[in-house]
């Protein structure tokens, strides 16, 4: 049972420009694992089921607002970035006095919901929670200054540190939890009396200590969850950290990962038992892999569901598709959105399938294009066959019945239907419906030119 808590307002600071990114994209929209930094923070915040999430935005304006969504989201404009304290101040008019407030940073994306839960439990009528981290290199972070009895006295920014304070390795992550009423009182008293002439949120720590409100530090479990992203080097470092964590989770769940450093899991991925992932696989969630699924080297699977026992061989790109059990896909297959492959389907090399449904046991093993097509069960599509689905203006559908045999090099000019059990002779261009159960072919007569001789080089 979780203890009963006060209603929660989360404030996410996301107004900064992020100059050091040297990018036209606002910092909080820089992608980590394919999603904006801010989206990761929103996910962590959402897990706490807050009454409201207030995102303070400024740089990037509309672009930031359009890029993310979450329930109970309130946008707060901070037109001028006068400091983290000023940013939180902007959000306070929308926060009732009886709420607890959790402050998060839009550029600290790996923050864990579990830590935030712990931190919230530390906020009470006479106490606030402060998430701290030990960094080997604390450069740039605010330092936590403690008193003789170990009590937290204040947080000093790097630029305001004395030589002695610079040596402190215990850092402020910026994340804190405090009752709204106390926060409002302290924010009203902030002054930009510091090296950067900014309203520092961190100045409230000293105010708390003065008001006999206990500041309870909570050490982050991993330093990565407290890491902020300011430049492309840090962005890449966190991408690596994210990759390591996701691969670890899959291995802990029993997945065989041939090389965790060469697996990229982005978003929600669930795997059954005895799943094997070879090197250079990218999984963009939601991805669901059934028992015994094997994914070969260099495959990209994005929003895909795969049934048990299916083997995806190397170099396949599969997007927004549902794949049945015991299928064989690839090598070098491309399965495009809105495709359903039923059980035991084989899709071979250089075969592209788009917006099509392929029935159980059907095969297209070599060099084919199947688009806007309904393929029945037990069909064989010969090498080099193409559904000609586009007339230059519109897309048309092809229907291929159960048990059909399509000879190699067949062009099916849509709209067209091939009846169940039909056989199409190789090299045919089919422009009219082919009746079921019969051989249909379209082919010019073969002739041999007698006495013909090859030209000779002059
Ligand atoms: C801040 C903390 C520092 C802490 C560090 C952790 C302060 C004064 N300092 O420093 O103690 O160790 O984070 O990462 O709080 N922002 C706004 N509006 C503003 C200013 C900032 O929304 O007016 C946002 C930024 O977009 C960013 C976050 O607040 O997401 C932090 O701001 P930043 O300038 O990066 O603070 P730091 O110098 O890193
Ligand atoms: Ca920062």
**Whether the predicted pLDDT of 293 surpasses 70:** yes
Question: Which ligand is in closest contact with the Cα of 225?
Answer: 1
Looking at the structure, tell me whether residues 217 and 364 fall in a common domain.
no
Is residue 250 a part of any domain in this protein?
no
Note the pLDDT of residue 59: 87
278 within a domain of the structure (yes/no): no
Please state, in angstroms and rounded to a whole number, the distance separating the CA atoms of residues 248 and 392.
48
Q: Catalytic residue at 54?
A: no
Provide the token pair at 164: 């002695």
Boundary residue ending a domain (226, 241, 258): 226
The pTM for the full model equals 0.89
Spacing, Cα 245 to ligand 1 middle (Å):
26
Q: How far is the CA of 83 from the centre of ligand 1 (A)?
A: 7
Distance CA 34, CA 71 (A): 21
Question: Tell me, what CATH number does 74's domain have?
Answer: 3.90.550.10
Question: Within a domain: residue 363?
Answer: yes
> Has residue 236 been placed in a domain?
no
Would residue 267 count as lying in a domain?
Answer: no
Chosen domain end from 226, 255, 290: 226
Query: Structural domain tally of the chain?
Result: 2
Q: Are strands 339-341 and 357-358 parallel, antiparallel or unpaired?
A: parallel
The mean pLDDT value for 326-351 works out to 98
The pLDDT tens digits for 100-125 are: 999 999 999 999 999 999 999 999 99
Catalytic residue among 59, 99, 366, 451: 366
* Residue ranges near ligand 2 (ion) with Cβ within 5 Å: 228
- Tokens encoding 293: 């699924």
The reply to whether ligand 1 has any atom less than 6 angstroms from the CB of 78 is: yes
> Model confidence over 398-424: pLDDT tens digits?
999 999 999 999 999 999 999 999 999
The stretch 35-40 carries a mean pLDDT of 96
pLDDT value of position 1:
46
Q: What's the CA gap between 449 and 458, in Å, rounded? A: 23
Q: What is the pLDDT of residues 294-318, one digit of tens each?
A: 999 999 999 999 999 999 999 999 9
Tens digits of residue pLDDT in 165-201 = 999 999 999 999 999 999 999 999 999 999 899 999 9
- CA gap 127, 182 in Å, rounded: 10
226, 243, 268 — which closes off a domain?
Answer: 226
Q: What is the CATH number of the domain that holds 389?
A: 2.160.10.10
129 lies in some domain: yes
For residue 325, what are the CA distances in angstroms to 288, 305, 338?
A: 12, 10, 18
Q: How many Å apart are CA 436 and CA 226, to the nearest integer?
A: 66
Task: Please report whether residue 268 resides in a domain.
Answer: no
d(C-alpha 321, C-alpha 79), whole Å? 43
Range of the domain at 366: 355-458
| Any domain includes 322 | no
Task: Provide the token pair at 134.
Answer: 């030990």
The rounded mean pLDDT for the chain is 96
CA 387 to mean position of chain CA atoms = 34
Q: Whose CA is nearest to atom 37 of ligand 1?
A: 141
């Amino acid at each position: 049972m979780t203890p009963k808590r006060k209603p929660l307002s989360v404030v996410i600071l996301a107004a900064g420009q992020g100059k050091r990114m040297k990018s036209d994209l606002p910092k909080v929209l820089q992608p980590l694992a394919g999603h904006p930094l801010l989206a990761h923070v929103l996910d962590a915040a959402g897990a706490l089921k807050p009454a409201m999430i207030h995102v303070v935005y400024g740089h990037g304006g509309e672009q930031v607002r359009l890029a993310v969504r979450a329930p109970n989201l309130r946008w707060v404009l901070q037109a001028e970035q006068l400091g983290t304290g000023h940013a939180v101040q902007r959000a306070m008019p929308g926060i009732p006095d009886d709420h607890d407030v959790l402050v998060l940073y839009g550029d600290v994306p790996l923050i864990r919901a579990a830590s935030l839960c712990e931190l919230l439990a530390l906020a009470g009528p006479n106490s606030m929670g402060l998430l701290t981290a030990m960094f080997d290199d604390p450069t740039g972070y605010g330092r936590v200054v403690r008193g003789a009895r170990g009590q937290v006295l204040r947080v000093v920014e790097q630029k305001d540190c004395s030589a002695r304070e610079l040596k402190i390795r215990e850092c402020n992550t910026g994340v804190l939890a405090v009752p709204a009423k106390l926060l409002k009182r302290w924010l009203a008293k902030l002054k930009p009396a510091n090296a950067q002439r900014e309203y520092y949120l961190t100045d409230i720590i000293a105010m708390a200590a003065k008001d006999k409100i206990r500041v309870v530090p909570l050490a982050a479990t991993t330093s990565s969850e407290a890491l902020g992203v300011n430049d492309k080097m840090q962005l890449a470092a966190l991408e690596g950290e994210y990759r390591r964590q996701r691969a670890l989770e899959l291995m802990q769940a029993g997945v065989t990962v041939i090389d965790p450093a060469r697996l990229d899991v982005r978003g929600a991925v669930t795997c059954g038992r005895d799943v094997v992932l070879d090197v250079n696989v990218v999984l963009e969630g939601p991805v669901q892999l059934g028992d015994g699924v094997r994914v070969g080297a260099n495959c990209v699977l994005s929003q895909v569901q795969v049934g048990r026992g299916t083997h995806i061989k190397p170099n396949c790109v599969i997007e927004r598709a549902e794949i049945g059990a015991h299928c064989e896909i690839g090598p070098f297959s491309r399965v495009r959105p809105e495709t359903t492959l039923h059980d035991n389907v084989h899709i071979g090399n250089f075969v592209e399938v788009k917006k099509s449904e392929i029935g159980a046991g059907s095969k297209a093993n070599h060099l084919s294009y199947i688009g806007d097509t309904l393929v029945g069960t037990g069909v064989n599509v010969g090498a080099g066959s193409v559904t000609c689905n586009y007339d230059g203006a519109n897309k048309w559908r092809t229907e291929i019945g159960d048990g059909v045999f399509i000879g190699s090099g067949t062009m099916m000019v849509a709209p067209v239907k091939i009846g169940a059990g039909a056989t199409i002779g190789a090299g045919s261009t089919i422009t009219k419906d082919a009746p079921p159960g019969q051989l249909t072919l379209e082919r010019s007569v073969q002739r041999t030119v007698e006495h013909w001789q090859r030209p000779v080089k002059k």
